[in-house]
Amino acid sequence: MTPDSSPLGLANLGPIAQLRAGRLPERLVRLLAGLWLYGVSNALLMQSTLGGSPWVVFHQGASRHLPLSLGMVMVSVAVAVLLLWIPLRQMPGLGTVANTFLLGPFTDLNLHWLAAPESLPLRCAYLIGGVAMCALATALYVGAQLGTGPRDGLMTGFARRTGWSIRRVRTSIEIVVLACGVALGGVAGLGTLVFALCVGPITQFFMRYLVLRLEAPEEKLPAAVS
C-alpha cells in the first residue's frame, strides 16, 4: 500500500484525475445512487426517533455553546473537518460538491415520503434499516472514487495515512464524536449507540465489493480488494 491509497484500494487523486480515471458514466450513477440512499438513511434514522447519529449529537451539543443555529453549526463543522483534510492530504472532487449540495435535498424528499412509525418494532426496523442503508450508501458513493463528503473524507484520509481498516477508523471517529457531543450537552439514544458501533463494520463489508477499479494509464492505481 502506498501513502496515496487506502487498505481497500481507494486512490487519492486530484479532481481532474478522478474524472479521467475511466468508467465515468458508471461511477456517476454510483455516486448519485449512493447519495440518494444516504438521504433515505438519514430519513429512516430521523423518523425512528431512537437517537440521532453521533455527528447529530455533536452538532446539537455544540449549538448549546455557540451563538449559531443548528444549521450554521453543521456548516461550520463541515468547514472545520475540511481543514483537517489538509494534513491528511485528502483530495476533494465532484463527490465532495455533490455531497454538499444534494444530500440535504435528498434527505428532505425522503422525510416527506417516509411516514413516522408509531410502534416500537417498526421504529427499531427503521433504525436498523437506516444504519445498514448508511453503510451501503457510503460504500457506493465513496467507492465511485469521485471524492467524498467532509466527514467521510476524514474516514478515508485517516485510513490511508494510518493503514487502519475502514471499520476501525469509522468506529473510532464515531465514538470520539459521540463522546464530545454528549460532553457538550447533546442528547444521545439507543439508536446513537447502535449507529456508532455498527456502521463502521457494515461499511467495511460493503466497501470490499463496491470500490471500483480505476483505469488511468498515466498513473499506477491500486486495485480494489476483491
**219 pLDDT tier (thresholds 50, 70, 90):** very low
Nearest to 174 by CA among 200, 143, 150: 200
In Å, what is the CA distance from 114 to each residue of 43, 45, 125, 153?
A: 7, 11, 13, 29
10-32 pLDDT, tens per residue?
Answer: 888 899 999 998 899 999 999 99
pLDDT of residue 4: 53
Please return the burial class of 119, using the count of CB atoms within 10 Å of its CB with bins 0-12, 13-18 and 19+: exposed
Q: What pTM does this model have?
A: 0.87
Beta carbons within 8 Å of 82's beta carbon, 6+ residues apart? 92, 150, 153
* 215 vs 20: CA distance, rounded Å: 8
pLDDT of residue 8: 67
Q: From the CB of residue 109, how many other CB atoms can be counted at a distance below 10 Å? A: 14
pLDDT of residue 180: 96
Nearest to 138 by CA among 214, 199, 55: 199
Please say if the pLDDT value at position 197 is more than 50: yes
* 205 vs 189: CA distance, rounded Å: 25
Phi-psi region of 90 (alpha: psi -120 to 50; beta: other; left: phi over 0): beta
109-162 pLDDT, tens per residue?
Answer: 998 899 999 999 999 999 999 999 999 999 999 999 999 999 999 999 999 888
Nearest to 200 by CA among 158, 162, 155: 155
